[in-house]
Each structure stands twice: as structure tokens, then as C-alpha cells.
Structure 1
């Protein structure tokens, strides 16, 4: 490593050590069998995604190959609870590597729990391996990981704190791209809890917003009140992206 990169790494370390984890401790759930549904195109364009090879994910530390699930019918929005003042270009890759290490070594998960992570500048990072290419079972919302997508906002967004506009728009772009084509992002979805450790006992049928907060499925303050309060706007943004894409496709 060149001296300048060593200096950068030393600068990132104190920031990494400051964060706390809002996600609860749990073991990962058993994967659902992959559905053999016909493959169709996405309902919105794919945003730019920074791959794992760019932020240097530790592939050797990953415990298991990705497990796949049916197309996402719900999105759970999270925050990572890092301090908000990070430098997007300089700090984020190290923060992601530290988070991946904590999820694997500290929580016993197979890999980074979230499918995608979005920073305050609006950059989208692939989280769990292969999430960019397929619908991958994550470890983000206990009891509701199947047929769902976990998107984490890098930072903490308590009441009165600002949710950066580029971040909100990037989360919307990922959700619009990854949600199943027939799903209404402004609607509700019926899901069954798969674990007693969630907010609902195992086997309970629950109706949730298609775009929900982590707290809707688990007893936590995640994703922070400011970000949670932004979810209605996020649903509108996602729907608009998908409607615009459909209108453009019809006009071609």
C-alpha cells in the first residue's frame, strides 16, 4: 500500500470505530427455494452501482454462496448508525469493509447483511454478494428477509436531522429497479413472519407497506425518525420512476 493510502486508512479507522449497530443480533434464516418464474425486465432503469470489487469486499471471509429468493415484493429501509460527516469518496469503502467484517465475525452472518448501501452523496454500493445481478436473500429484517430487499442509508437520521436529497433519490432508484414489476410501491403487501424474534411471532400474517422501515418488522428505532418520516415521499419517488419508465417504453 502506498504511503498516501496508508494515511487515508489511518484517518478512516477512528471514524469506523465510532459507529454503533442498530441491527439486532441473530442468525441468518434458511433460504427459500428459488422460484422458476419467467424472467422479465426491470420496471425502472438500473442505477449506477459500485460493485464489491471496487470497495474491496473481503470475499474470502464470506461464509456461504448467495441464496436466492423470488422477486422482491417489499423494501426495508435501514440506517447504519454511522456518524453523518464522512467523506464519501475517501471514507465509505473502509466503512463498508468494517461493516462487512462486523456482520460476519460479530453477528455470525454469511456476508454483509444489506443488499445495497447508499451514502449521503447518492452513491449506491452493492452490499451482499450478487445482489446487483439477482434477488438475493439478505440478513436485514428478522422474519421478513424472504422476497424483500434491504437498503441501508449510511449514517444516522434521528428526529430533526437532514436526510440528504441525493441519498433519498438513490434509495428510490434502487427500489424502483429491484421491486417486482407487478408491485405497487405505494401499496401494501402481505407477508408471513418466519421468526419469533421479529415484531410478530413466527407464522403470523402481516400486512406491511411495500416500502417500509426496519422498525415495521422489528423492535428498533431504525431507520431513524427523519428517514422514517421520509418514507411517504420515497414511495412517491419510486412510483414516479416506474411510471416514467413505462411511459417511455410505450412511446418507443
Structure 2
């Protein structure tokens, strides 16, 4: 049987350490940890714990000389749980928003470098555009996607823009990184994102964020409207209702409602 390479071995050890620490809320000393891994040299375990600590996945108590699960791991686990719990908790509010507006409503989450729609409420207007649940869309051209970008750290946003070509999907797609950055600042400040035919001709998206308890964006609600119905008064009406609904869901999932 082929031996696992170094990367696979390191990843396996990380998960093994996390599983061990998750069973001991009071923490474990280095000696208690290393005795569970007879095949790992002490120097390798020291380096592994050092790296895990640097990334926030383990916490070191200098006074007790013990390691425990770190805040970074707790936040990661919370984010995963939110992806599974936000859909059923949000559904009643999405239904109400659909009744209030008559438009198509979508719930989107972040998946890699795309936004994925995990639920929808179909509008009552005869002219509408249906996006199937499970559909993926670019971040830089969609209302919900731009919200996720606006809530990224400067480091993560810069890395995204360095690696992601901003290919024009319509004549209104923002394709200059500097222009997109300024646009994202305005979105973050306003707490609302609007895509005026940036992802698809004839479609306007209006989106507001659902936040988790750490103040991070867990999901987004977007109202999809044909351009012909997106007159200023109607857009203002939809902005008000989508922000109110996002705030209600944020409170329902125990998140922090943005102050803007």
C-alpha cells in the first residue's frame, strides 16, 4: 500500500489533534497530547501545534500549560452550522417578503468564489425570471455576491481580485478592480447591494445581508426584478423590505444586526 505524502499526513494529524482536544474542554498538556501520537516526533508535534495556534485553531493557556480548541475553530464550526440552519429559519420570512413584494426572492450563501442559491420563493407577476435552487453565480456581478465581497477582509478581497478575472457578463458589469473596490465600500456603508443588469441583461437584484453572532455575513437575501419594474419608487420600496427581512432573520439566528 502506498504511503501517504507529507501534506496528507499533516492534514490527518491536524484533524486528529482537533478531535482529541474537542473531547477535553479543560485542555490538554503537550505531554498528554503527544502520548496519543506515538508515531509523531515531539518536534513535529510542537511545530504542528504552533501553526494551529497561529491560525487560531488551538488556544494555548500559558499559565496552565494546556492546549484547547481555539476561537478560530469555534467560528469555523459556527459558520458551517449556520449554512445548515439558516435555510429553515429564514423560510417563513422569505414567504412573507414574497407576499409583500410579489417578486422572486432568493436565499444565497458563499461557496468558494461563488454565491449559491439554496432557497427561493416564486413571485406572482406574470413576467419573471426563474433561477433554480442550486444555481451558482459570480460574486463580482451579483447583488448578493457583491455583499459577500464587501464583507471580506482586505486581505481576502485583495487575494480574490488578484486571482479572479472580472470578465464582463453584460455591458454594465464592473470590470476594473479599483472601481469595484470603491463600489464595495459604498455597499458596506449602506448595508444594501444592488446589481443593475450587471450579471444578466434585463434583471435587477436587490440584496441585504444576514449576519451571524460574530458579525460576519452568513447569507444574503436577494429580490430579483425585471428592469421594467425597477423604477426608483419601487426600488426604494424593495430596499426597505429586504433590509427589514434580513434584520429579522439575523435576529432569529442569533446574529448581530448591522447598525447602518
TM-score (norm 2): 0.26
Higher strand proportion (structure 1 or 2): 2
Higher helix proportion (structure 1 or 2): 2
TM-score (norm 1): 0.27
